[in-house]
Chain A
Amino acid sequence: MPVKTAPFWRWPSTFVRSLPVALVGCAMACVAAAQDASVNKAILAPPPSAWDRLMLSGRPLLSQTVSDFAAITTGIVFGMGPGEVNAHMPNPAKGISWSALPAAAEFQNDVRYFWIRFEDARDLRVGATSCAGAESYIVFLFQPRGLFRISYRLVPDVACPRPAGAIAEVFGRFVSLATNIALSVHYRAGPMEVVDVTDPTAGYLMATRWQPRAEE
């Protein structure tokens, strides 16, 4: 036998009156809970400094070497030629040599480069696990005397509209190195997140920042 439910205007009046209040209260609680949801902020840790007891002069506390850099970059170090760097890639390309490389337009000097996709970079992702955008890539920049910059360029897309998490992971790894070993700089270039890791002995080349061209 079917059960007949009374129409809502016949429900007990106190229940009907309290329903909107309950709905509004629930909505407010949901909004408050969403606003209270805490987001973690990463704190990057550069090498500490040490001061004398009078705090007159400070110096780096840690003594780091090029081995500390190589430990992050799967053995790649500044000064390596294009062929040597290519040999350290997860999938080395054929025909990589100084004469075969294209010129990097952002430099006035003879600077050449090759690049690999970030998602194919394996250990060169330096432990980054956050999303990075499918078009993200890593550029290796050379002057005639060898490698002087590794540039991480993360491109947002529909699947990963904010690659800020991945770039923070990459940057955080290189920030742990003293600036006399590798100088890492984080900046935004249009919609892209960029971390340049540069040889501190590269002189005036260090200051050059990359910007995407209009057609890119």
Chain B
Amino acid sequence: MILRPILALIAALLVGRAALAAPVGTSNDESVPPVVTDTTKPRQCVIAYLVTDVATNDMFVSRQQVEPPKDQAASRGRYPCPTDVPARVATRALEPCLARAGDLKFCVFGDMARGFENRPDVRQTAENTSRCASDLATYIGIACWKAGDRDICNVACGDTEQAARDLARGRCEVKQQKRCTITGATLILPPQ
């Protein structure tokens, strides 16, 4: 009976100390909060390409981040991407594959023409339909069918992973006139 009020007093004191243990700024200026983490900082534009080594079927996402123009406003937490993408960016996008492939001639863009399996050449692929921009979509997706050992693929952009896969599959099945059951998708923006 005597212990109960003593325990209650100790508990009250502990609660009081905990309340005092809030973050305390080191600055004397009380208008400055102690810790500021800007989780809403807009992400810069990223143009993601899918490029592939057709000898090994390795698929690479080649992300190209573009600095926003001065005075450009962000929308929905993202800076807009340029509407015209120079050819040198597409050439650069192939580099992750070119540096890592056993044979350079097997590096192509992920969006392939019908009949690519008969003419496996970069000219039978399209760079502009192999890319997605971060201001218009969140995921880049791929869908492929197998011609022997080789994956024949098409690319699409989507707001969700499933949407990107489904859109790529639809595009592949219309373009290739095959069932495109091999699918994949990844984020356009790199993980922070």
Contact = CB atoms under 8 A, between A and B. Distances in A.
Interface stretch (A35-43, A119-127, A150-158): A35-43
Interface stretch (B15-23, B30-38, B60-68, B120-128): B60-68
A43 B61 contact: yes
B184 A43 contact: yes
A186 B58 contact: yes
B59 interface: yes
Given A43-B50, A187-B55, A37 B66 contact: no
B142 A184 contact: no
Interface residues of B, number: 43
Contact of B183 (A35, A39, A45, A58): A39
A187 B102 contact: yes
- State the main secondary structure of chain A at its contact with B: mixed
B182 A41 contact: yes
A39 B96 contact: no
Contacts of A40: 182-184
A46 B99 CA distance: 11
Interface of B: 46, 50, 53, 55-70, 82, 85-86, 88-89, 92, 96, 99-103, 142, 144, 151, 165, 179, 181-186, 190
26 contacts: A37-B181, A38-B165, A38-B183, A39-B182, A41-B59, A42-B59, A43-B184, A44-B59, A44-B61, A45-B190, A46-B62, A46-B96, A49-B62, A49-B63, A49-B92, A53-B67, A53-B69, A55-B86, A55-B89, A164-B57, A171-B100, A175-B100, A179-B100, A185-B101, A185-B102, A186-B53
